[in-house]
Amino acid sequence: MKYLALLSASAVVLLLAAACQTKAPEPVTEVFSMSDTMMARCEFYEAKNQEVKNNIRLFGKITVDNNKAAQVYPVVSGSVVSIDAELGDYVKQGQKLATIRSSEVAEFQRQKLDAQSDVAMAEKDVQVAKDLFEGQLNSEKDVIAAEKELIKARAELARINEIYAIYKLKDGTVYNITAPISGFILSKNIFPNEQLRADISDPLFSISQINEVWALANVSESDVSKIQLGYDAEVRTLGFPNNVYTGKIDKIFNTIDPETKAMKVRVRLPNENFQLKPEMMATVNVLFNENRRMVAVPSSSVIFDKSRSWVMIFKSRNDIETRSVNVYRQLNGITYISHGLKEGEKVISKNGLFVYDALND
C-alpha cells in the first residue's frame, strides 16, 4: 500500500512539472484597419502651406449706383390727371409715368405759334427788302436790318422747339411725365388730383437700374488702418441669409462721419436676378492677408475632444495616427495650424470622427 501511495504521489509531481514547462499563450493584439466601406466614406486632404487670411466684419446697407439713377421733377405746375406707374414697377425709357393738365403748357404752345408767325413775317420782310433794293427803292442797310430780324425770329423759334423736345411737350394743355431712363421706381411722391408746383424740392419719382448695386459699410476708427482697396468682401443680407455675394472694395470714402464716427467703404455687387434691394441691411465680411504662412487644412479635418484639437494622420489603411495640433484660426472652412502638422501630411477631412472613436475608445 505504501508503495502504491508513493507511486501515485510521484505521478502527480511529474504531471505538475510537465504543466509548468508548457508556455502560456501570448495575448493577441488587434491592429486597426479601415474597411473598404469606411475608406469609401472618408475623404483625404494633403496639408498645404498657405497665406493666413483674417477678416473684419462690417455693417451697412445695399444702395443703388448713383450713376444709374435719375430723379424726376415736375417742369410745369398743374393738376395731376392720372398716374401710370407705381412704386417698384419696372419702366422703360420714355414710358409715361403720369399726366398733368397745366396752363403753362398752353402758354408754351402760344409762344411757339407766335414764334412761327414771327419767322414767317420776317422771311416776307426780307424778301420785300431785297425786291425794293433791286428796284433801288431802299438801301442795302434796310436788307441787312430785315435779315437780322429774321435771325432773331428763327432763334426764338429754335428755343421754343428745344423746350418742346427736352420736356416732350405736345399741343394742348396736357403734359406727360416720362421716364428719363429704364429701371425700377424706388420712390413715388405724386397722387391723383394733386396740385403740383414747378418749384417743389422733392422728386415725383426716383428711378434706378439695379442690375448692379453697392454695399456701403461703416468702418470704425480702430479698423481704418486695416482696410485697403481691392480687398475681397463677402456680403450677406437678412432677406437671403444663405446667399453669399462676393465683390471687392473699390472705393474708400476718406472721411469720418461726425455722428457715427465711422468711415464708409463701397463694394460693387452684380445683381442680375434683382435679389438685392436698395436699403436692405447687409453684413460685409472683409478678407485680408496677414503676410504670414501656415499649414492649412479643411476645418472638417479638426476634431475637438478633451479640451484639445486633433487631426487623424493617414499613412495607410493600417497606419493612422491621432495627433494633437494647435489651431491658430478657423476662417471660411479653413483651419490654420500653428504647431503639430507638417506640409504634405495627409489628413482625413471627412468622417474622421468615426476613425477617431474607433482608435481612441
Query: Do the domain assignments include residue 20?
Result: no
Q: Do 217 and 253 reside in the same domain of the chain? A: yes
Dihedral angle over CA of 136, 137, 141, 146, nearest 10? -120
- Residues 234 and 320 grouped into a single domain: no
Residue 279 vs residues 60, 214, 239, 276, 347: alpha-carbon distances, Å: 9, 10, 11, 9, 45
Specify the pLDDT at position 10: 52
Q: For residue 208, give the DSSP letter.
A: E
Entry pTM: 0.66
d(C-alpha 326, C-alpha 337), whole Å: 6
**How far from chain centre, in Å, is Cα 96?**
31
Q: Give the pLDDT score at 142.
A: 86
Asked if residue 183 and residue 94 are part of one domain, the reply reads yes
What gap in Å lies between CA 321 and CA 359, rounded to an integer?
9
Question: Which position has the grid cell 454695399?
Answer: 215
What SS3 state is found at 130?
helix
Which pLDDT score is estimated for 29? 45
Considering 161, 188, 208, which residue would you say is the last residue of a domain? Answer: 208
CATH of the domain at 119: 1.10.287
CA–CA separation, 322 and 360 (whole Å): 8
Specify if 29 maps to a domain.
Answer: no
203 and 240 in a single domain? The answer is: no
**91: how many CB neighbours lie within 10 A of its CB?**
20
Residue 223 forms part of a structural domain: yes
46 and 62 belong to one structural domain: no
Residues 284 and 307 in one domain: no
Residue 72 bridge partners (DSSP): 205
Q: At a CB cut-off of 8 Å and minimum separation 6, what does 242 contact?
A: none
Question: Any idea what the CATH number is for the domain that residue 265 is in?
Answer: 2.40.30.170
- Cβ-contact 215, 282 below 8 angstroms: yes
147 vs 124: CA distance, rounded Å: 10
Assign 3-class secondary structure to 82-124. EECCCCCCEECCCCEEEEEECHHHHHHHHHHHHHHHHHHHHHH
Which domain range does residue 184 map to?
72-101+173-208
Residue 275 sits in the same domain as residue 160: no
Q: How far apart are CA 148 and CA 154, in angstroms?
A: 10
For residues 232 and 276, state if they share a domain. Answer: yes
Closest CA to 100 of 80, 77, 73: 80
The answer to whether residues 282 and 237 touch, using CB atoms and an 8 Å cutoff, is yes
Q: Which three cell numbers stand for residue 124?
A: 416776307
Would you state the pLDDT for residue 169? 80
Q: Name the domain count of the chain.
A: 4
Distance (Å, whole) CA 117 – CA 155: 13
Q: Is 8 a member of any domain? A: no
Residue 281 near residue 63, CB atoms below 8 Å: no
Based on the domain organization, do 204 and 226 belong to the same domain?
Answer: no
pLDDT of residue 30: 55
Mean pLDDT (10-residue bins), the chain, 361 residues: 46 49 50 85 94 93 93 90 94 93 85 91 90 83 90 92 82 87 94 87 93 95 91 94 94 91 95 93 93 94 94 92 94 93 94 89 71
One domain, residues 323 and 341: yes
